[in-house]
Homo-oligomer: A and B are copies of this chain.
Amino acid sequence: MSSFTSVDPVGSAYAPNTVHPHIEHGVFVRRLSALYPLQPHESKTLEALVETAYTVAAHRDILHEQQPAKEALVLLEGLACHYKVLDSARRQMTGFVLPGDFCDFGFLSSSVTRQSVMSLGKVVVGRIDLRQLSAVADKMPNILVAAMRAASVDQACARELVISLGARDALQRLAHFLCELHHRSRIVGLVNANAEFDLSMTQAEMGEALGLSTVHINRTIQQLRKRKLIAMGQGIATILDAAGLEAVASFDGRYLRPN
């Protein structure tokens, strides 16, 4: 599979992307088949669809606003987010992309990308050609259903974020945020035996996601630490007491389930 040509999907403005030929695509197939059961031959076909994998440095746009979807992008490693910058120069994040997730679902309805997607840490991205995808989808409709379920879960996450910002205080918000990332990381096998997972973002960036100031994010993290619910540092989050954290957040993970 896969050419070795380094092609940047949105032009060469996003400099230090490099080709990364020997990447584990498994996470993508794992993710989709958790959303809808796939036959072995379907999984194989799906895996072969992921053409070029390249790495993107931290804090670079992977996709951006108002561009028509010309291919489907899949995150293979790292952490990324949807965001929009307002008039006020304030930036608000509206969702997260984990390994195995599609970066955007515009390709499903040949729409434009509605919000930019940015890498948080260093990231590896895979590309899927839309012509190939639609050819495959015609023969294996399950693959399309799985993708639509992924979109449906994505929508549920956005709604849950609305709830956080609209109705939860800072402590609940942060706890809920950590519960979600913990849960989602676990689904794709990215939580290790010490209950640690990748959280390569700064406190300021968490603030941009949760609608809180950096200072207040920090205060709130201290509280969760004091209660021995989490540990955090060096881009790694550790869940010390999952049940306790979920209780603080009133977390109900059903919205992450495919059906």
Contact B163 A86 (CB under 8 A): yes
A75-90 residues at the B interface, CB under 8 angstroms: 82, 84, 86-88, 90
Interface-facing stretch out of A11-19, A44-52, A151-159, A179-187: A151-159
Using a Cβ–Cβ cut-off of 8 Å, how many residues does chain A contribute to the interface with B?
A: 48
Is there a chain B Cβ closer than 8 Å to A259's Cβ?
yes
A164 CB to nearest B CB, Å? 9
Is there a chain B Cβ closer than 8 Å to A193's Cβ?
no
Interface-facing stretch out of A22-30, A101-109, A228-236: A101-109
List the number of copies, as a whole number: 2
In the complex, the chain B residue whose C-beta lies closest to that of A110 is: B259
Contact B166 A211 (CB under 8 A): yes
Hey, which chain B residues are within 8 Å of A145, CB to CB?
Answer: 109-110
Contact A259 B167 (CB under 8 A): no
A117-175 residues at the B interface, CB under 8 angstroms: 145, 148-149, 151-152, 154-156, 158-159, 161-163, 165-168
Q: Which of A165, A166, A259 has the most CB of B within 10 A?
A: A166
Is there a chain B Cβ closer than 8 Å to A222's Cβ?
no
Hey, which chain B residues are within 8 Å of A156, CB to CB?
Answer: 114-115
- With A165-B166, A166-B210 known as contacts, the answer to whether A105 contacts B152 (CB < 8 A) is yes
Contact B255 A114 (CB under 8 A): yes
Is there a chain B Cβ closer than 8 Å to A254's Cβ?
yes
In the complex, the chain B residue whose C-beta lies closest to that of A112 is: B259
Contact A165 B211 (CB under 8 A): yes
Pairs A–B under 8 Å by Cβ, sample size 19? A92-B163, A94-B159, A94-B166, A95-B162, A109-B151, A109-B152, A109-B258, A110-B145, A111-B149, A114-B156, A115-B156, A148-B148, A154-B155, A155-B155, A158-B159, A162-B165, A165-B165, A166-B209, A166-B211
Q: A86-B163, A87-B250, A94-B162 are in contact. List 9 more A-B contacts (CB 8 A).
A: A68-B259, A88-B250, A90-B167, A94-B166, A105-B152, A114-B159, A148-B148, A162-B165, A166-B209
Closest 6 CB pairs of A and B: A166-B211, A165-B165, A109-B148, A92-B167, A158-B158, A94-B159
* Interface residues in chain A, defined as those with a beta carbon under 8 Å from any beta carbon in chain B: 36, 66, 68, 82, 84, 86-88, 90-92, 94-95, 105-106, 108-112, 114-115, 145, 148-149, 151-152, 154-156, 158-159, 161-163, 165-168, 208-211, 250, 254-255, 258-259
